[in-house]
Chain A
Amino acid sequence: MSDPTAPSPSASAETTTAVAATSAVAAAAAPAVAPPKVVVPPKPTPAKPADKGPSRRFFLLSWFGSWFAVAWVAFSASMLAMVLGTVRFLFPNVLSEPPTSFRAGEATGYEENKVDDKFKEQGAWVIRAKDERNRDIIYALSTICTHLGCTPNWLESEKKFKCPCHGSGFKISGINFEGPAPRPLERYAIKKNDDGTLVIDKSRKFQKELGQWDDADSYILV
């Protein structure tokens, strides 16, 4: 990028000083009649590093060895430690998350078309009802509205789930039919243990619009 023909700043400065000094000497030595002497500026010589302030090594030493540097290093280290300490909070020693699966009693204890709020605290309604193919099944519906995540209520007299936040409505099957909810409530994985009790696994979800309700794990046949 630098222009090779241009003299370096230090060299030109030296030249100017040299010119000024020579002409001053000439003016003092010869009276006014003396013809102007052609002044040949001395060749610019490369500056000696030793004369131009502290050496590179000294510079580094003086900065990194000063109290100023110690203070900055200490400050940065403490800030870094604070950030790392905050990041550490993202990985707690103990995770108090409730277990993702829970037992929901005997499969024989469920009446058809009844919705019980027994497991609402755990985040699911366990329901026995007829599905689209008229099979008698038990399934677990998530209590999270698919519109914006409120918890709907089961209205027994109207036979529907109704969300108090924006008025979305779901049938007992979980299929949305009114209000702004864009898709049906999600099903959780459900299975029957050998002793006949139901186990609901909330870590696996089944969405109807993705065709996952056909998955055998999303319901059990009665």
Chain B
Amino acid sequence: MDSHAHGLSSSVQNGLGGFYLVCALMNFGFAAYFHFQAKNRTQVAIWGAVGALFALMSVAYFGHFGWSLSHGIKDFVDRIMNPVSYFAISILALAAVLYFRRFFTNPIVAWSVLMITLFCSGFAMTDPNFTAIITKPDNVPIVILIFSVGYFTWLALRLAVINDDRIARGEPPMEKLEEDKVLTWPDLVYTELICMVVFTFALVVWAYFLKAPLEQPASSAKIPNPSKAPWYFLGLQEMLVYFDPWMAGVVLPTFIIIGLIALPYIDFNTKGNGYYCFNERKFAITTFLLGFIILWVVLIVLGTFLRGPNWNFFGLFEPWDPHKSLPLNNVNLSDYFWLYGFGKSVGSMHWLIRELPGILLVLGYLLLLPPILAKTILRDYFIKMGFIRFFLLVTLIQFMALLPIKMVLRWTINLKYIVFIPEAFFNI
């Protein structure tokens, strides 16, 4: 791809022109809000200028004069991207948003972050690989997912911060100020009607412009490469890279469902019922966001945009080369223990002896860790929650933690399976 404007096709140029025009209008709208409602002249000037910048970009692309992302930046992004950095950045970003929630829930900060994201996305779309992946009809819902999950998480945190301040001042949360009753007619029915019309319209437009992603007739001999699950299962497919099908396909999903069902019985904190808050439920909200955003949404995004042929990891701007070769030689724990530790070959051993270190490790993790935690760092929780609640909670969190633990072990020491008993179809 040439870094000059000549490399961009006219349809991409027009599309980007339209994209930046929408961004410009959004900023003008934001400025108008400050002009008419908030009466803040500084903000009007700032967002008017940002809108003008976007409008300028839009004119440049409509005039087919637009420029594209340089190779240096693309190569840099591709080079720093791998599963490890992707997860590390995601977790750090979530931690930062939660820790500095007062800063991030400021609407002006959030709007700036959104505008920077949109500006960079527009630039990234000058890359044909990136554009091909994010505009594929299959993947458009994931683009919407990224923005909608981001927005709703932000909204919940913002309301939580406002309520936390109110509670700290001794006032009731905002939700208490609302009336208990809302009229069905016209309030609810009109809302429903408007939603119905808007969504029907959006679906018709979607169906018209984005064709159904159908492929060739199914055949066991000719399968698409990469073969991707439906988007909502991509998190599970990513788990399958690290686990045996039994674990990733049956045991862990069962624990997810049981855990969600058990939540109301484990979480007996009566605070935060019916209103947003963070300070009163720090542990619950953080754990939920870790599970939902990092271990589910981030995995879906990874599976959609960053997994290419042969399920290899590809950077955002990297061409999907089916012959990309990554060293993925993985070693079982039994090999590490017996072969590298004692110099013995595992070939002739009985599986029980061979897998003893792994079995002991897993049993220790599942059976010894909860009592140790109850005695030491989680002592307060144990006393507060009681025996059954505490052990249920710790076991569920342990199973949730299996995935990141296994991922880190795979990335650092190429560990394949902790317990590996192919004789009995049992691997962990």
Contact = CB atoms under 8 A, between A and B. Distances in A.
A182 B420 contact: yes
Contacts of A166: 237, 240-241, 311
Q: Which bucket holds chain B's interface residue count?
A: 20 to 34
Given A179-B330, A182-B427, A209-B423, A164 B240 contact: no
Given A148-B245, A182-B244, A182-B420, A167 B328 contact: yes
Interface string B239-266: 0111111000100000000000000000
A164 B224 contact: yes
Contacts of B224: 164
A107 to B, nearest CB: 23
Contact of B240 (A123, A143, A147, A153): A147
A70 to B, nearest CB: 47
Contacts of B329: 177-178
Given A157-B323, A158-B323, A165 B420 contact: no
B237 to A, nearest CB: 7
A169 B243 CA distance: 15
A180 B310 contact: no
Given A151-B220, A179-B328, A180-B241, A164 B323 contact: no
A179 B226 contact: no
A74 B256 CA distance: 46
A182 to B, nearest CB: 5
Contacts of A163: 310-311
Nearest to B248: A180
Contacts of A151: 220-221, 223
Contacts of B240: 147-148, 165-166, 180
B99 to A, nearest CB: 35
Interface string A75-88: 00000000000000
Interface string A50-75: 00000000000000000000000000
Contact of B311 (A121, A155, A164): A164
Contacts of B309: 164
B260 to A, nearest CB: 25
A118 to B, nearest CB: 11
A216 to B, nearest CB: 21
Interface string A157-177: 110001111110100000001
**Residue from the set A165, A179, A210 with the largest chain B CB neighbour count within 10 Å:** A165
Contacts of A143: 220-221
A210 B220 contact: no
B225 interface: yes
B117 interface: no
Interface in B343-364: none
A167 B416 CA distance: 13
A198 to B, nearest CB: 19
Contacts of A157: 323
Interface string A33-62: 000000000000000000000000000000
B168 to A, nearest CB: 49
B420 A210 contact: no
A180 B325 contact: no
A222 interface: no
A7 B45 CA distance: 99
Given A166-B240, A179-B328, A179-B330, A155 B323 contact: yes
Nearest to B243: A180
Interface in B97-120: none
**Residue from the set B237, B322, B420 with the largest chain A CB neighbour count within 10 Å:** B322
Contacts of B227: 150, 164-165
Interface in A86-129: 117, 120-121, 123
B417 interface: yes
Given A166-B237, A166-B240, A178 B245 contact: no
12 contacts: A117-B221, A121-B221, A123-B220, A147-B240, A148-B249, A163-B310, A163-B311, A164-B311, A167-B312, A167-B328, A169-B328, A182-B422
Interface of A: 117, 120-121, 123, 143, 147-148, 150-151, 153, 155, 157-158, 162-167, 169, 177-180, 182-183, 209-210
Interface of B: 219-221, 223-227, 237, 240-245, 249, 309-312, 322-323, 325, 328-330, 416-417, 420, 422-423, 427
* 10 interchain residue pairs of minimum CB distance: A167-B311, A178-B328, A164-B225, A183-B422, A162-B310, A120-B221, A209-B422, A121-B221, A164-B227, A165-B227
Given A155-B322, A179-B328, 9 more contacts: A121-B221, A143-B221, A148-B245, A163-B310, A164-B227, A167-B311, A179-B241, A179-B330, A182-B244
